[in-house]
A and B are shown apart, each in its own frame.
Chain A
Amino acid sequence: MTSIDQAPAAATAHSPAAGAPLLELDSVACEYKLDGGGRFRAVNGVSLQLGRSEVLGLVGESGCGKSTLAKLICGLEKPADGTVTFDGHPVRALGLKKRAKELLGIQMVFQNPYASLNPRRRIRDQLDDALALNPDGGWTVESLLDAVDLPADSAQRYSHSFSGGQRQRIAIARALAAGPKVLVGDEPIASLDAFLQTRIARMMRDLAIDSGASMIFISHDLSVVRDIADRVAVMEAGRIVEVAPTDQIWNDPQHPYTKKLLAAIPKVDGKGIIPGSD
């Protein structure tokens, strides 16, 4: 993966307020309308900061609001309350508008690699679209494919001829091509098998950090998050209940919910013990 060295542009990007966090969420909330009236607060008063060249893992059970939070960060949902600030710029809901130029530094890798690539266009064309956003990034289609361990002839093919793991790598290459400062992965490994999961997650981390970006990595798989995150935020029912460095979360969890989650991971010790309780 030598080609990573060719992408220094993102690393040296200027910032209006050096020292300030790259991404800041201040008491953000998001509500959905329910059928038959009423509102459901999927995200409730979340404050988070993401530093430069940092990998933040976001964990929690399904339905806790992880994906809604990712959408808020990308401007795909409108906050009911609070603000999201990226590199000094407020992130507003996109609606049907084109993404503002200063917000192009936020790029997302989605959960389902079968749905996130266009089936009717060659891989080259899809990567070229992203490269056009960041022509000074130093990437080419070939170097991107090489960075994600795919053969160069993949560029001429369509997404249907790739496996799930390969498609997810293409999606990662595409996000990388745009020169992100924040890479948001919303369960990017959930549809892959276990051995691939660890590999793809590590690849995402290495590529993001080497190109000078930060990453928010959302997953319900705690062991993978432990493997790649610098800090971990634990989310329960729309709220962040604990944020701490990864080692501290694992060795000395403070919040009862964090303790419960960790206790539910089966240990690979061969003892035949089923973890936790229902």
Chain B
Amino acid sequence: MSTISIRDLNLSVTAGKKTTHILKDVSFDLEAGRITGVAGASGSGKTQTGLAVMGLSPAGAELSGSIDFDGVELVGMPAKQHNRLRGVQLSMVFQDPASAFHPMLTVGDQITDHLRHHQKVSKKDALAKAVEILGRTRVPHPKEAVKKYPHQFSGGQLQRIAFASAIICDPKVLIADEPTTALDVTVQAGILRLLRELCDDLDLAVLLVTHDFGVLSSVADTIVVMKNGVVVETGEREAVITAPQHEYTRSLIESLPGAEVSP
């Protein structure tokens, strides 16, 4: 059974008198131990799908349809109840690691904050866990790292710390929204390897939002292609990339320099 099952998800946002439909009948599944990649141009709704799972849809948003998380319905769940899942069972990593952290708190404080809140562990135990998790995401010198501030790390290291923060409460679902877009190719490869490892070792259901088919080609198991809030194609990685069924998918892949699509 799927960890997350999204069915006929609709999202519309009303600002003033104007209503915009951001998601239209979106359906797909996230499975444990698999990376589901969502591709699309900006404005296609790929990020909003991830945020809807997290319960972080924008103010004035109307959500309908169903997001089933291990038998629990997330659509329409009261905010307080969602708060108890977010950061614990559902976690997220964002695009820009430099703006994902508070500049004036130590890394150790920031990545244990939610752990201490949700699981009531002592500060000492939380820090010990932080050191362990930073080691797992291969942040160099984890013991010293917890005492440092975000500006003392490079972008790639900060993204590793963001992943540490995301997995510290043993989540079931990890949503990674363009996690490598701000990074150099050589650093990107390391982060993708980390994502693959975490997914396999912790049996995470990963939703990877990206515009980069190179990234999807290297780590995604399933690919979902979105356009203007609609899912136009869903399939296994290799099938979608080498033999896209939908015209839009084909145009996206062909627009990439160096990509080869069989005619």
Contact = CB atoms under 8 A, between A and B. Distances in A.
A276 interface: yes
A268 B240 contact: no
A269 B192 contact: no
A270 interface: yes
B218 A272 contact: yes
B218 A273 contact: yes
Interface in B176-219: 184-190, 192-193, 196, 211-215, 217-219
B238 A194 contact: no
Interface in A168-201: 193-196, 198
A266 B215 contact: yes
A49 interface: no
A227 B237 CA distance: 25
B255 A198 contact: yes
B263 to A, nearest CB: 16
B252 interface: yes
B237 A274 contact: no
A222 B257 CA distance: 10
Interface stretch (A138-146, A147-155, A203-211, A257-265): A257-265
A278 B190 contact: yes
Contacts of B185: 220, 222, 261, 264-265
With most chain A CB atoms within 10 A of its CB, the pick from B185, B188, B211, B239 is B185
A271 interface: yes
The range of chain A's interface size is 20 to 34
Contacts of A71: none
Interface string B229-263: 00000000111111000000000110111111000
A195 B193 CA distance: 25
A265 B214 contact: yes
Most buried by A among B186, B221, B242, B260: B186
B186 A260 contact: yes
Contacts of B217: 266-272
Nearest to B185: A264
Contacts of B220: 272
Contacts of A273: 218
Nearest to B219: A274
B42 interface: yes
A266 B210 CA distance: 13
A224 B215 CA distance: 15
A226 B218 contact: no
Contact of B193 (A62, A193, A220, A278): A278
A223 B238 contact: no
Contacts of A222: 185
Contacts of A271: 217, 238
A125 interface: no
A158 B222 CA distance: 42
B214 A270 contact: no
A265 B217 CA distance: 11
B192 A266 contact: yes
A227 B212 CA distance: 16
B180 to A, nearest CB: 9
A195 B255 contact: yes
A195 B211 contact: yes
A222 B188 CA distance: 13
B193 A268 contact: no
A265 to B, nearest CB: 5
A226 B257 contact: yes
Given A195-B252, A223-B257, A264-B185, A270 B237 contact: yes
Interface of B: 41-42, 155, 184-190, 192-193, 196, 211-215, 217-221, 237-242, 252-253, 255-260
21 contacts: A61-B186, A193-B41, A193-B42, A194-B41, A195-B255, A198-B257, A220-B184, A220-B185, A223-B258, A227-B257, A260-B186, A264-B189, A266-B218, A267-B217, A267-B258, A269-B260, A270-B217, A270-B237, A270-B241, A271-B238, A272-B237
Q: Which 7 A-B pairs have the closest CB atoms?
A: A270-B241, A266-B214, A270-B238, A227-B257, A194-B211, A264-B185, A268-B259
